[in-house]
Amino acid sequence: MRTPPFYAVIGQPIAHSRSPQIHQAFAAQFGMRLRYEACAAPLDGFAATLQTLRAQGLRGCNVTLPFKGEALGLAEQMSDAARLAGAANTLGWDEQGRLWADNTDGAGLLRDLRRHLDLQGRRVLMLGAGGAVAGCLAPLMQAGVASIHLSNRSAEKVAPLIQRHAALPCPLHSLAWGSGEGAGFDLVINGTSAGLSGAGLTLPTGLLAPGAWAVDLVYGPAAQPFLQAAQAQGARTLDGLGMLVEQAALAFERWHGLQPQTPPVLDALRRSLE
């Protein structure tokens, strides 16, 4: 029997990753045998870990915190999405053995958002300026939204993001952290790590318009402080689990040329977390 193709997700920490479960579910839809493992890398050893896994037959990998920036730096070819994000979450090798990099986070978020709302003409606020926001910014700017404001505790991180995306056809502005009272945004996306550290987010009164949506890019208990604060302003809410599944589907499609069905995988994953 042929050895199944070998893929992985690399991060630190990585034991919590749902990627193996997701990719095995995708593979099962096509009757594929797949080896997909969660692999921890030392904080100073991503490149060495990638090289070791490649020697063991690795065909491609997903990359998560804290290695997305380093992954992009190792690539010989990169997609526009990865270049604009300054980070890669998907790596693979072409037929000539050259390492390529892509970033499917933003496209994955869009796929999930469009299951719930029409993005056309929406006024958007993104909280944070780290890798999660950077990965989602360009696709959102090209999705027909009216404008995007960026707000981050460290304001100096916002300007480089705005500059890097200046050529895209969407107004992009900076908003002082903690401001926005009465702004009435249609969509507020939390890309900060506040929930992961157990810290809450105080949302200014009227930050969200009536009927607005609030989205956290993480899922589980870490998403709840922001989502609960948004619900208190009457917002409809969405966590990052759908985005996780959709970005994985795009990586799967890039590697295998097959487009998996995501709703049943998302439903099963959400049930397993309850």
Binding site: residue ranges?
Answer: 17-19, 64, 80, 89, 105, 128-132, 217, 219, 240, 247
Q: Give the separation between CA 241 and CA 106, rounded to whole angstroms.
A: 13
Looking at the annotation, which residues are catalytic? 68
CB atoms within 10 A of CB 97: 8
**How many Å apart are CA 35 and CA 33, to the nearest integer?**
7
Cα distances (angstroms) measured from residue 122 to each of 110, 145, 155, 211:
13, 5, 24, 12
| DSSP 8-state class, residue 217 | S
Q: How many CA atoms lie within 13 A of 62 on its CB side?
A: 27
User: From the annotation, which residues make up the binding site for shikimate?
Assistant: 17-19, 64, 89, 105, 219, 247
Instruction: Give the strands of the sheet with 236-238, arranged side by side.
Output: 172-174, 147-151, 123-127, 185-190, 208-216, 236-238
Residues making up the binding site for NADP(+) = 80, 128-132, 217, 240
Number of helices (H), then strands (E), belonging to the chain: the values are 10, 12
Q: Measure the CA–CA gap between 84 and 104, rounded to whole angstroms.
A: 12
